[in-house]
Amino acid sequence: MTQHLLETARDLPAVIIERTLRSGQIVHYEGNLVILGDVNPGAEVTATGDVVVMGVLRGTVHAGASGDQSATVIAFRLQPTQLRIAGYIARSPDGETINPNQPEIARVKDGIVTIEDFPIGGERAGKN
């Protein structure tokens, strides 16, 4: 069921990696990528679609690697060494996250990579 939801969300294939990625490990996928674990510094993740990390993202990530500017990166905590979406590059801001208990989403808005809290549960638009 989860696999089907991922594939229909953006009409791309999806893969789920059920482990933490360590330094030196490289993952490249043509589609959406979900990681059930952390992405540690020195690990590299690239996907042509979205990247979702069910953990802390501290390594390098590239979503929308084929040029898709609508791709997103979502993680429990975004602290990447480098974050790329299509041709846009960003890095983690210095200092702590504002709300460490809230997942975060990175996306391109008006030509800039922005990082915001990701709404969960009843906080999504259209829900009370």
Question: Do 60 and 40 touch, CB atoms closer than 8 A?
Answer: no
Encode pLDDT of 3-46 as tens digits: 544 444 567 899 999 999 999 999 999 999 999 999 999 999 99
Report d(CA 90, CA 44) in Å as an integer: 15
Provide the CB-side half-sphere exposure for 115 (13 A, CA).
23
Domain boundaries, the chain: 2-119
Nearest to 86 by CA among 58, 61, 116: 61
**CATH architecture of the domain covering 2-119:** 3 Solenoid (2.160)
pLDDT at 99: 62
| Residue 75 pLDDT > 80 | yes
Whole-number pLDDT of residue 103: 94
pLDDT band at 100 (very low <50, low <70, confident <90, very high): low
